[in-house]
Amino acid sequence: ETIKENIINLRGINAGKFKIIHHGVDPIKKLMKEEESVYKKNFCISNKELVLLIVGHLDEERKGHVELFKALSLINDKMPPYKLLVVGDGERFEFLKHLACDLNISKNVSLLGYRQDIRELNLVADILLQPSTAFEGIPYSIRDAMSARTPIIASSVGGIKESVENDKNGYLVDGGNINQLSRAILSLCKSKERRVEMGIISEKMFLNKFLLDEMVKKHENFYLDILSNEENIKLSKLEP
């Protein structure tokens, strides 16, 4: 919807010419308890620690890594035991590693670099973080988190608002607002009940909006409608 509005505003295209079909993905296959324990053990995460997850290329400043680190530093002494998993690679890897040290949160932060098991990591995570500071579409990381029944804390920018509803399947904060971000993280980390409630809603929203099979059906119906309209136009031209 956001991309549609941008195109309409920039190019003046008639809104009636658009049909929105969200990009769909297959649902995530749930992990067995034993598999989840293995993942946590591999990252030196105890069963008492909450798992926070952020996914994104480290060189894209708009992904909000710096803002997230600063937000965590404000509440680190008030947080329950936790580990932040940072998935992504880039030239800023060492910079972020040193920033975590400077902010005294290095014991709680694991920079994992490039990973191919992001969907599985969503199943281990208790909260997905998407603190983007500038325009986003609808990130794959959010759709994967929704499928994994994971609540989300994200910035209210771009298409994120189409996948995260504030106080329903997560919390929305203003992009770049470190204080709002820190309050949202602390609040959700301290309430297992809210995390479970929001996770269930997340999965329901995923099944309603982002399921691959539904996307395929919508594409098929869209093309059939076009063909049907063209056929009707041809027939109308043949009428005397």
Q: What is the pLDDT of residues 56-68, one digit of tens each?
A: 999 888 999 999 9
pLDDT of residue 117: 87
Q: Is 97 exposed, middle or buried (0-12, 13-18, 19+ CB in 10 A)?
A: middle
Whether the full predicted model's pTM is greater than 0.85, yes or no, is no
Q: For residues 9 and 185, give the distance between their C-alpha atoms in angstroms, rounded to a whole number.
A: 35
pLDDT of residue 187: 97
- Among the residue ranges 45-54, 85-94, 120-129, 211-220, the one predicted with the least confidence is 211-220
- Residue 187 φ then ψ, to 5°: -60, -45
239, pLDDT greater than 90: no
182, pLDDT greater than 70: yes
pLDDT of residue 1: 59
Detail the DSSP E strand segments found in the chain: 50-55, 82-87, 109-113, 127-130, 152-155, 170-173
Three-state secondary structure call for residue 84? strand
Rounded mean pLDDT, 96-117:
95
Rounded mean pLDDT, 131-149:
87
